[in-house]
Structure 1
Amino acid sequence: MATTDLKTTGYSSDTAKHYLLDAGAIFKNVKYDSTSKKYTGDPLGATVGGSKLNIAIGLRQPEVDGLLTEVKGNDVIESVKATLEGTLKEWKKENIASALFADIKDADGTTAPTGYKIITGRNKVLDSDYISNIAYVGKIAGETNPVIIILKNALNTAGLSVETKDKTEAGIPIKFEARADADKPEDYNGIWQIIYPETITT
């Protein structure tokens, strides 16, 4: 009878150290300070229902006469798309304006009472609509430090879709899409970065 050392489960004594736990949080404009050795960033707001991150790499196999199957080494990266989705629980005027490529101004007391802000749409996307980066920050079970997944030049393309009902709070859906730098469009894989913690034991 043939024997094998292959197991019928992938579980090991280290498995529980590598779970990605809970919903995590979303930050914008995350930066690392080499002096303080710390990250800083602005929380986007409380979320509900967790987050959905997608980094999709599109591949293409160039057609060659005589090839009847896909061949190792013949894959070309054709496209890269990175998105981060979720639902914000906090109704901040800045988040509403971000989703609609809109401006915020003070009410003038004539068309609307003072003490209000007016959010109005415009017909173009401005440089200021792009966030330097948007980041998911989550906890790996066996690590002290969080994992940080960053999408560069993030643009909120979700629009505004709201459903309200009694005994609950309405949320604002968000969908941030990463963009390459205008002066480096060929750096398509530079739109995302995963900063993965590694516990150092001494």
Structure 2
Amino acid sequence: MVKASFIVEGQTEIELVRSDYFKKWLMQYCGIELIGNPKDGNCKGKGNMCAAKLEALAEKIRKQDAPDVIVVLADLDPDADVLCITERKKRIGSRHIDLVVIARNALEAWFLADTEAMRSWLRDGQFYEPVPESHMQPWDALKNYGKAANRGPGSKPGFARKFIRDQRFDLERAASHENCPSASYCVEKLKQLGNKGKS
């Protein structure tokens, strides 16, 4: 079993990583045990997701929790004029980091890609978001869908927590959406990372 710690960009990512669902999924399908407190790896976004700060944080986590691997989960962050995943990864760096996963344009796009969970939340059996990653601000898209269905999402972390728990958000379902490649990449790379520990 590979032991992993996560460095995340913000509260939505924390809600996913610390959820019972995600921890069970990591163990069952990836052979990865989550260790440490995801809050310790919260960079709080924007300018903090740079190589110098992440290198120091990763080094601190390695000393504190002794994980086998460290995974960074971040947004593409179009607000910071980073429109390319390769450039985003360059800014994040790789020292002390084993895997970098970038959600395009933000992790909330993965929520939009889980059609079953969205139908449950909106109480709309016909809902389908054809291009979840096309929204520059997927959180705004979620708010608009919720408003139209009289299902106000509330705060971003509160919504993420309830969406994962109550609507049973499933990362693999999001990854199976034909237009959500960043979720698919996340699933594929986490499984590869866990399988390395079995060889």
Higher fraction of strand: 1
TM-score by length of 2: 0.21
TM-score by length of 1: 0.21
Please tell me whether Structure 1 or Structure 2 has the larger radius of gyration of its CA atoms. 1
